Amino acid sequence: MTGSINVIGYALATLGPAIGVAMIFSSAINGIARQPEARGALMGAVYIGFAVVEALAILGFVLAFVIR
Amino acid sequence: MTGSINVIGYALATLGPAIGVAMIFSSAINGIARQPEARGALMGAVYIGFAVVEALAILGFVLAFVIR
Amino acid sequence: MTGSINVIGYALATLGPAIGVAMIFSSAINGIARQPEARGALMGAVYIGFAVVEALAILGFVLAFVIR
């Protein structure tokens, strides 16, 4: 059996952030559908939330290279 | 098979916090969509909640380096 | 394959508390969005709930160092 267990580690690290970012955008889409004029106020919170959740997956990507 | 099981540890440590932070921002987005003027009062609670939940994932990131 | 299974232990210990703390803050944000003037009364209960749920994850962090 070859390969590195770090790849499985990164794979598991995408599970939560992928669902999380989808939840954030999903809420934003529902909110914009209900009140299109609130779009500007919404998207500020969306971008902050997206950045901090996506960062968790990117840290897993970095970790797979750094740790041996 | 190479790699470190610590990467899997970090990966599992992102699952809960990623979904948790997404739940917090999702609630905030829904709240802003319903009452855009309540945005300032909401975001205070959002940042506190985000910080304490995200911290759990960051502790896992630190642990992956510290523990051998 | 290197690394310590204690990191996986801590990681699994964050899953429940992260989602739990997120549920508490999510409810608080929904409550503030509905009645912004109730914010002070809400946050008292939020901090107590947060402390006892977050403590479970911190205990897992301590355990990862103490037990070999």
What are A5-41's pLDDT values in tens digits? 999 999 999 999 999 999 999 999 999 999 999 899 8
Q: Which residues of chain A does C3 touch, with a Cβ-Cβ cutoff of 8 Å?
A: 67
ipTM: 0.93
Q: Are B28 and B46 in contact (CB under 8 A)?
A: yes
Reference B50, options B26, B25, B68; nearest CA is B25
Q: Does the beta carbon of C5 lie under 8 angstroms from any beta carbon of chain A? A: no
Reference B60, options C31, C15, A43; nearest CA is C15
Q: How many residue pairs from chains A and B have C-beta atoms closer than 8 A?
A: 148
Q: Which residues of chain A does B38 touch, with a Cβ-Cβ cutoff of 8 Å?
A: none
What are C4-58's pLDDT values in tens digits? 999 999 999 999 999 999 999 999 999 999 998 989 999 999 999 999 999 999 9
Segment 15-44 of chain A within 8 Å of chain B by CB:
15-17, 19-21, 23-24, 26-28, 30-32, 34-35, 38, 41-42
* E strand or H helix that includes residue A29: helix A5-34
Of C8, C26, C32, the CB nearest to B5: C8
Given this model, what pLDDT does residue C4 score? 93
**Smallest CA–CA distance from A13 into chain C, residue:** C11
Q: Which ranges of B5-38 would DSSP assign to H, the alpha helix?
A: 5-34
CA distance C37 to chain A (A): 21
pLDDT at residue C1 tops 90: no
CA distance B60 to chain C (A): 6
Q: Are C56 and C13 in contact (CB under 8 A)?
A: yes
CA B38 to chain centre: 23
Residue B48 corresponds to which tokens in the numbers above?
Answer: 């506190």
Strand, coil or helix: what is B4? strand
Single pTM value for the model: 0.94
Q: Are C32 and B45 in contact (CB under 8 A)?
A: yes
Question: How far is Cα B35 from Cα B11, in angstroms, rounded to an integer?
Answer: 36
Encoded amino acid at B10, one letter: Y
Residue ranges and CATH numbers for the domains of chain B are 2-66 (1.20.20.10)
Indicate left, alpha or beta for C8 from its phi (over 0: left) and psi (-120 to 50: alpha). alpha
Q: Which residues pair with B4 in a beta bridge?
A: C2
